[in-house]
Amino acid sequence: MPLFDLHLETPDSATFTLAYDTGTSEIAGAALDYAVFGVTPSPPRAWPAVAAVSPDCPGRKTAAARVIKISLGLACNRACGYCSQGSERAHTGATRPGDAPAFIAGLADWWDGGEDGRGGGTRFEFWGGEPLVYWKTLKYLAEAIRERWPNAAFSIITNGDLLDGEKVGWLDRVGFAVGLSHDGPGQHLRGPDPLDDPERRAVIRDLIERLGPEGRVSFNCVLTARHYSLVAAERWIADKLGLATVPMATEGLMLPYDATGMLLSPKGAEHDVIYASLLGELIEGSAYGNVSVWKATRAFAQGLADGRPVTALGQRCGMDRPAHIAVDLQGRALTCQNTAAPKHQIGEVAAIGDIRLARAHHHSLRPACRACPVVQLCQGACMFFEGALWEQACDNSFTYYTALLAGALYHMTGGGVLKAIESRDGTPIRQRSIEPEKAA
Ligand code: SF4
Ligand code: SF4
């Protein structure tokens, strides 16, 4: 891996340089205060290398699955232009709710039941489309799993349109964590804003009141070229709900899955504007209220503190890991929850040892990622993207994660602003959003 010189400037215009090795997470040139992100170095440990999955070396799946993503189907009550599943919908057949009992019956045959045989250490994610479109099937599945494996964790991401008092009460009782997709001022790009409807606002407030105290609810925003302020997204949602603050998460700057996603992705100098805006919110500190930003930054700081090698890093979404599996109700294992059979079928859970994740490219096998200063934060965008989609996804990810890198360095160095990144071996840095005059 190349070494990078990270050039920083203090508020009184002094400059200093950190030497950063993305391969080993070693960083030298100034003392870093990891504690600002609540990090203390861990005791030395071995770092097993992850399998670098590729079409030539397909990933495997294990019966000791600890993240099980159940794809209920890709139907949705909305038609958001930049949906991560939009291009897949055409490839999927109709879901068959009648498959649910057989799915539950088969689960015990292929899954080990979790760390304690009662679902411990395992998260079931229930995915659509819009999962609440599949309300009866969802209810059946979650109740059946909860009865037999009471210690499993449950989560769901919903657009919230179909929520009502009954569903909120049920989600609470059955123990779900709920992510509400909402892009704040960018929500109109998805269609009508549910927060403009008084009835919906009341239902969502009820959900927040019930699940919020246990940290089981958040709003999940996607940033685009049109709306990229994490702070504005939170403000928009909190104001509409009449709350002082709301729990927020983000997928970062969008990954483009289709032509609309490409259109809503930043181009050229727009990257510079977005970078500078995000960095401003990180330096000021309010962006760290977003749990995804906080967790990604903290994991990066922990990696530096512990010397985490890049070989120990899987893909960001985790779907290259043997213990993470996406499966539809017919037991077909999928590349991930955003894909569908037959195009993305990688095997069947009934023959879990035969599953082969053949469409993925681990970041260590992508030349751009190997030479990337933010690979420890980004972990390679989407593992199955290729061609123009991957190029744009990489551009978007680079802008977002370079801002996170600069924000982390600012706080850990006590005020150093990242002004430039240079690779020691002269490898060009992917793009120019880090130019000093634009980033300041
Ligand atoms: S920003 Fe691009 S090159 Fe860097 S790790 Fe992410 S996908 Fe790879
Ligand atoms: S492979 Fe990962 S990043 Fe790509 S669409 Fe699936 S979950 Fe998202």
Angle at 416 between CA 413 and CA 419, to 5 degrees: 135
Helices (H) then strands (E): counts for the chain:
13, 13
pLDDT level of residue 191 (50, 70, 90 thresholds): confident
Query: What is the residue type of 204?
Result: I
pLDDT level of residue 190 (50, 70, 90 thresholds): confident
| DSSP letter for each residue of 365-405 | GSHHHHT-TTHHHH--S-TT--HHHHHHHHHHHHHHHHHHH
pLDDT level of residue 86 (50, 70, 90 thresholds): low
Which residues, at least 6 apart from 335, have a Cβ–Cβ distance to it below 8 Å?
Answer: 319, 326, 344, 346, 357, 359, 360, 384
pLDDT of residue 84: 64
| 372 C-beta closer than 6 A to ligand 1 | yes
Rounded CA-CA distance 16/12 in Å is 12
pLDDT of residue 177: 98
Instruction: Tell me if 410 sits within 8 A of 403, measured CB to CB.
Output: no
What is the chain's mean pLDDT, rounded? 93
pLDDT of residue 175: 98
pLDDT of residue 440: 36
Rounded CA-CA distance 357/349 in Å is 13
| 313 C-beta closer than 6 A to ligand 1 | no
| 383 C-beta closer than 6 A to ligand 2 | yes
Ligand 2 atom 8: residue of nearest CA: 382
Query: What is the residue type of 162?
Result: L
Rounded CA-CA distance 137/133 in Å is 9
| 257 C-beta closer than 6 A to ligand 2 | no
Angle at 106 between CA 336 and CA 171, to 5 degrees: 65
Q: 322 φ, ψ to 5°?
A: -60, -30
pLDDT in tens, 356-396: 999 999 999 999 999 999 999 999 999 999 999 999 999 99
pLDDT in tens, 197-234: 999 999 999 999 999 999 999 999 999 999 999 999 99
pLDDT level of residue 195 (50, 70, 90 thresholds): very high
pLDDT of residue 426: 80
Rounded CA-CA distance 145/191 in Å is 34
pLDDT of residue 74: 80
pLDDT of residue 265: 95
pLDDT level of residue 437 (50, 70, 90 thresholds): very low
Ligand 2 atom 6: residue of nearest CA: 336
Kindly identify the ligand whose nearest atom is closest to the C-alpha of 338. 2
Instruction: Tell me if 331 sits within 8 A of 106, measured CB to CB.
Output: yes
pLDDT of residue 257: 85
pLDDT of residue 276: 96
**Residues pairing with 51 in the sheet:** none
- Best of 300, 362, 365, 366 for a ligand 1 pocket test (most atoms within 8 Å of beta carbon): 366
Nearest to 230 by CA among 293, 158, 316, 317: 293
340 CA to centre of own chain: 19
For the packed helices 100-110 and 135-148, what is the interaxial angle rounded to 10 degrees?
30
| 374 C-beta closer than 6 A to ligand 1 | yes
Instruction: Tell me if 323 sits within 8 A of 64, measured CB to CB.
Output: yes
What average pLDDT does the segment 38-54 reach? Answer: 96
For residue 169, what is the DSSP state?
H
What average pLDDT does the segment 56-60 reach? Answer: 96
Kindly identify the ligand whose nearest atom is closest to the C-alpha of 404. 1
| 363 C-beta closer than 6 A to ligand 1 | yes
Two structure tokens written together for 47: 């770092």
pLDDT of residue 33: 98
The neighbour count for residue 323, using CB atoms within 10 Å, is 15
Rounded CA-CA distance 207/176 in Å is 11
212 CA to centre of own chain: 21
Ligand 1 atom 1: residue of nearest CA: 398
Kindly identify the ligand whose nearest atom is closest to the C-alpha of 251. 2
| 107 C-beta closer than 6 A to ligand 1 | no
Q: Which percentage of the chain shows pLDDT scores above 70?
A: 93
Rounded CA-CA distance 194/203 in Å is 10
Rounded CA-CA distance 201/246 in Å is 13
pLDDT of residue 406: 98
Does pLDDT of 61 surpass 80? yes
pLDDT level of residue 123 (50, 70, 90 thresholds): very high
**Residues pairing with 16 in the sheet:** 8
Kindly identify the ligand whose nearest atom is closest to the C-alpha of 379. 1
